Structures are given as structure tokens and as C-alpha cells.
Amino acid sequence: MLLKVITRFIFCFVCLLLISFTCSSQQLPPELDTYVQKVMQTFHVPGVSLAIVKDGKVILTKGYGVKEAGKNNAVNDHTLFCIASNSKAFTATALGILAEEGKIHWNDPVINYLPWFRMSNPYVTTHITIRDLLVHHSGLGLGAGDLLQFPPSNYTRKEMTEKLRYVPLKTSFRNNFAYDNILYLVAGEVIHTASGMTWEEFIRKNILNKIGMTESVDRISQFNHQPNVAVSNIPFESKVIANPGFPGNELTDASNPAGGIASNAVDMSKWLITQLDSGKAPNGDQLFHSETTDALWNLVTPIAVPTLPEILKPEQMNFYGYGLGFFLQDYRGYKMVWHTGGLSGFVSKVTMIPTLKLGICVLTNQESGAAFDAITNHILDYYMYAPAYDWIGSYQKLLQRRESGVGQYLEKINAGRDSTAGPSLLLTKYAGAYHDDWYGDIGITIENNHLVMKFGHTPDLTGDMVHWQYDTFIVHWRDRELRADAFVTFALNPDGSIYEARMKAVSPATDFSYDFQDLLLKPVSNYSTIQPFNHSTIQQFNNITIQPFIK
């Protein structure tokens, strides 16, 4: 009898310990709300939406701050944010579902599904596979072809992908990592062909609806039509300002497979649970199985492991690479599966620790990666029982260093300028029609005695050109919120006519999607509407200096 009592006592004690451990493992970091608010204040983020899942359960979905800087419209856990490149994991998952159905195979050449598809290299054209579309090792340069998409252009998705045949490769096929967006548009076209549904229809029917992500938007053009949305807020001239006009152009739907989904904390918690449970949604639906999880989370493209600065030492990884729609690395000894997303005024981060069955999603309406990293790492450290670390202070110091570096770079450029070195030609000689093989037509006209550049398929890329030195000008985009001013340098033939023009972003802080450096502008013909120009007016531009900005 005594033995039974002791056995029962031990059993109950063990059960209580297990219950206690389970409850404690699902508790939130102490004073998490205070921490998030401190992050927002430090990095000037108006609003944050946060989701945490653990062991198949939702631990937290919560909104913080406001939807728009300077307003009192509070964010809640149903407020939609653009998740940008976190959409790539949905595209990869969609292909995984089609692979399980036998409608595609990862190693199939893309041209089996899209016979019209061409890369600039014939070998790559015939050998690039569906898996290759997702892992950023095609040989394209960083952000190659992004000017076809950002700012919004009037090209269709298929037109953008067809232009890949003109986009030059920068490295060998399958040899180097270079992040791109355009091949995810090709993946979207593969989904269309293999399923008979557009990318948007497939994502809605086979992922969002099945998971129960009923509040999420599968096309960016519908974002501003929803009742509860965050507003884009951007750092501009040492302050954060609202940019309510973004997004709003239906033409941006062409880029949806690379970055067009909008979601909130409630829906993203369901996405995290589904990914962490090998495709089993919270409602019990099975979207995919473990073999697809293995494919998504298997490192395909290795990335050189950087040596992080001392202030970020706890983040130092031992391996680093890219799978299918996810980055992969280690963090404090655990395998970490993650991705970030960024569009004008929105950045986000999705992080999963498979062995801990832990998932974190941070959505923000400002462009501060420091904010989502500080919040994510703080939460990860809690569940890993790691010692407390000052992530806020560390990222603050890192940003100060970067800002100082950008400032010094721009000061060096200004100091090296020869303002007395005028242009070789009258401005009328620079004006005319230009063509780039992959982008298309770009015009330079004269308005009010200065040059104006207009990208033929991108209305927002209209800017006033100011002489810098010799045959180099700076184009200042009229939409100053682009923060992407660029040098335009003309090369001349021996007879003084223009041979070509090249472009390059002025500031190293310019978003990589402004891939001006890949353009090769060839003159086509002169415009007949050029206004007379008095060459002496060039002197009014000689005192211009480059103003630094930080994105």
C-alpha cells in the first residue's frame, strides 16, 4: 500500500513538473511590451505587429504603436503589413505542393514548362531548373532586373521575365550567391503553367485559405483597399514621414511572387505553425508533407560566413546559406530558418528554430532592420536560456557607424569633384532617345534650360539632371522619397557624338533594387522638341553638393 502511495506521489510530482515546464516554456519574456516599445522609440518605428508560436500553439499576437507616424490610429494584431520578400517562401511552398502532386519536379529544366524562357547564356537557359529559380545562384548580379519592377512599371510579369534574355550574367552559373527577385517571377509563371491558375489564385486557394489566413492579401494592388492597414513610413531628411501613396499602383501585381503578400500577426502565426509542423495547418489541413519541408530547409547555395563586429558577437554564425525561399544559419548552436522582407516603408522578419518548435514574426511600417533584429534576438535568447544581451544598444552603435561611413563616402566624393570641369557638349547634344536592351526606352529632354531624364516604363523615375563634372550629371528624381539619385556619365565618339551612357547610384545607402549600374544606354535618335539652351546657365549648378541620406 505504501509503495502505491509513493508511486502515485512520484507520478503526480513528475506530471506537475512537466506541466510547470510546459507553461514556463510558453511564457513570454519578462516585460516584452516595454522592450518592444523601447525598440520602436530608439529606431523611430511607428508601428509593429508581433507573432510568437511555440510547440504548435500561439503564444502571442499583438500590435504596438500606430499605423501612421504622427497619427493616433493604433496597430492591432489584425493590422495588415506588406511582408515583401517573405512572400518568397509562399512561392517556394507552392512549388513544393505541385511537386508532391507530381505536376512538377524540382530538377526539371524551366524550359520544359516555359518554352519561351531564355537567359542571356544559352547553357544556363537549357540547364536552369525549377530549384535553381529559388536559390539565387543563377549568375545574375545582385538585384538584377529590379528596375523592371521597382518603382512600379507598366511591364507585365511575363514581359519582365521575357527580358531576362538581355540581362547579363555577372558570375558563373551555380557558383555564387547573389540575391535576385526576377527569377521568383519566373517561378510564378511556372506555377501558372503547371497548375492552370495564376500565382495569386494558387496561393489563395492552396495556401492562404487552407491555413485559415483569411485576412491576408495575395496581391499588393489590393492592400490599400483593406479596412485595417498600416501606412508606409520612411526615413527622410533626418525624420520619419508617412508615405500613404505606397503601395497603390495595380501594375505592381506583376511582382507578387517575389514580394506581393500582405499579412498580419494573427495570420502569420498560422503560417509559422504550418511550416514548423511539416505542412499541417492549425485547423488540421495538410498542405504538404515532411519531404517538402526538407526541400525548403535544405541549404542549396552556401554564402561566405561574414565576421561580425564585436558588438554583434552573439550573432556570429558558423554556417550560412540559402534554401528554397529561406535563409539558413546557426544561432547560439541552433539551426535557424529565416527571411526578411523590405518595400518602401515596410520591413519584416520571419524566424523559425525547428528543434525548439519556435517561430517569431515581426512586421513593421518603417525601414529599420535593427528594430526587427533586436526584437527577434531578444525573444530567441529568452527561449534559449541565453544570457541577457543589449541588442538595442549594439544595433544603435552599428547604425551610427554605418551612417558615419556613408557620410564620409559622400564627403570624399564632394571633395574630389572638379566643379570647373564643364561638359564637353552643349546640353542639346545630350538630349535624345536612349535604349537599354533589358529595360527599354529612356528619354532625355530639356525643360527650363536643364536636362530631364524619363524612364519610359516607370513614371516615378522622372528626374532633373544637374551637371556634376566633365560629362557626368546627377539625376535628382522628382519623387524625393525614392532616395535613389544617380550619376549619369556619357561616353563620346571621336567626332564628339555620344557613344553610350552609364548610370550608378550616388549613395552606397541606395537600395540595391535600383540596379542602375546594369544599364547600358545607347542613343537612338534626337528628340525634335528640344528647347534652345543657353550654355552659360550651367554655372548655376556649380555649387551643388551631394546630401547624405540613410535608408
- Look at residue 2 and tell me if it is in a domain: no
Question: Which residue shows C-alpha cell 532586373?
Answer: 145
| Secondary structure string (H, E, C) spanning 464-492 | EEEEEECCEEEEEECCHHHCCCEEEEEEE
Nearest Cα residue to 506 out of 546, 541, 468, 534: 546
pLDDT digits (tens, 9 = 90+) for 292-321: 999 999 999 999 999 999 999 999 999 999
pLDDT score for 237: 82
CATH number at residue 527: 2.40.128.600
What is the number of domains present in the chain? 2
pLDDT score for 249: 60
- Look at residue 460 and tell me if it is in a domain: yes
pLDDT score for 250: 52
Tell me the one-letter amino acid at 385: Y
| Secondary structure string (H, E, C) spanning 82-134 | ECHHHHHHHHHHHHHHHHHCCCCCCCCEHHHCCCCCCCCCHHHHHHCECHHHH
DSSP string over 188-233: HHHHHHHHSS-HHHHHIIIIIHHHT-TT-BSSGGGGGGSSSBPPPE
Same domain? 109 vs 225: yes
- Look at residue 528 and tell me if it is in a domain: yes
Same domain? 380 vs 512: no
> In the chain, which stretches have pLDDT less than 50?
1-7, 9-25, 526-551
pLDDT digits (tens, 9 = 90+) for 314-368: 999 999 999 999 999 999 999 999 999 999 999 999 999 999 999 999 999 999 9
Q: Are 67 and 81 in contact (CB under 8 A)?
A: no
Task: List, in sequence order, the alpha helices (H) in 277-387.
Answer: 290-296, 369-383
Same domain? 155 vs 296: yes
Beta-strand pair 81-82/334-343: unpaired
pLDDT digits (tens, 9 = 90+) for 203-258: 999 999 999 999 999 999 999 999 999 999 999 888 899 988 888 765 579 999 99
pLDDT score for 251: 55
Q: How many CB atoms lie within 10 A of CB 387?
A: 7
Upper half-sphere CA count for residue 499 (Cβ side, 13 Å) = 7
Same domain? 323 vs 470: no
Last residue of a domain, one of 365, 400, 435: 400
Same domain? 187 vs 318: yes
Same domain? 444 vs 355: no
Q: Which domain holds residue 372?
A: 26-400
Name all contacts of 336-341 with Cβ < 8 Å and 24+ positions apart. Answer: 336/380, 337/275, 337/297, 339/85, 339/86, 339/88, 339/89, 340/85, 340/86, 340/369, 340/372, 341/82, 341/83, 341/84, 341/85, 341/86, 341/87, 341/259
pLDDT score for 546: 40
Same domain? 362 vs 441: no
251: three-class secondary structure by DSSP: helix
pTM to 2 decimals? 0.90
479 Cβ contact partners less than 8 Å away, ≥ 6 residues apart: 151, 460, 462
- Look at residue 548 and tell me if it is in a domain: no
